[in-house]
Amino acid sequence: MESREQGSVVGTVINEMGVKVFDFTFENGKARILNVIGPANRWFIRRALRKDFNFILAHLFEKDEIKTGRRKMWFEEDDICFSGRHKIEYRFSPLKGQYETD
C-alpha cells in the first residue's frame, strides 16, 4: 500500500503464497477494486470487497476498535483485523523481509 497526494491510497492484496488477488485505490472516501484474479472476478464479490475496503481504509489510522453494524475492525500487534458483513475476515500484516525498512 502506498499513500499518494491528498490522502489517496493505492495498493495490492496478495495472499500468503505471494499470488496477487486484486489491486485497489482509495480516493475521496471511495474504494475501487481493480484487476481481480479470475475465480473472484464476480460482481457480488467485487461489491463486497469495495464496501469492506471503504470501511477499512476510512478507519485505517484510528487505533481503537471500530464497530458499525456488522462490520468490525480491531488491531492485534502489527496486524489489522476486520470482520465484514458477509462473515469474511481479513488480517492485514506488513510485508517482512526484503521490503522492510527500519
Render pLDDT for 27-63 as a digit per residue (tens, 0 to 9).
888 999 999 999 889 999 899 889 888 888 888 777 7
Tell me the pTM. 0.76
Coil, helix or strand at residue 66: strand
Coil, helix or strand at residue 48: helix
User: Are 81 and 90 contacting, i.e. CB atoms less than 8 angstroms apart?
Assistant: yes
> Edge-to-edge strands of the sheet including 89-92?
66-68, 71-76, 79-83, 89-92
Q: 23: pLDDT confidence band, cut at 50, 70 and 90?
A: very high
Q: Where are the domains of the chain?
A: 2-92
| Cα–Cα dist 8/57, whole Å | 10
